[in-house]
Amino acid sequence: MAVPEDTQGGSGDPDLIRRGEPLEITNEFAQVRVCKIWTRNGERLEIEAPKLGYRIWLDPLELESISWQTPETFSRLLQTPFGPDRS
């Protein structure tokens, strides 16, 4: 689910009810910010790459499905390390 940049307390997305405190994880290759959010449809994890402008909301089943993946799946994803081509 793509969400707008302005997501303070439901002002940017009508489904957003509340946002928890963000946690930022960085290294020399990437910067991500994760945050638990509450929506009309339940809890989600918001994952944002602020430098690249990507953001996604994942529900519990989508998050669980990440654990089913093999390292090869992530290697394929990283063949384009800055995300999909936007052209």
Q: What is the pTM of this model?
A: 0.75
> Which tens digit of pLDDT belongs to each residue from 38-77?
999 999 999 999 998 999 999 999 999 999 999 999 999 8
Would you list the domain boundaries of the chain? 16-77
- pLDDT-derived band at 79, boundaries 50, 70, 90: confident
* Mean pLDDT, the chain, integer: 85
Grouping H, G, I as helix, E, B as strand and the rest as coil, residue 63 is helix
Among 66, 3, 67, which Cα is nearest to 35's?
Answer: 3
d(CA 38, CA 27): 28
d(CA 32, CA 69): 20
* 8 pLDDT above the threshold of 80: no
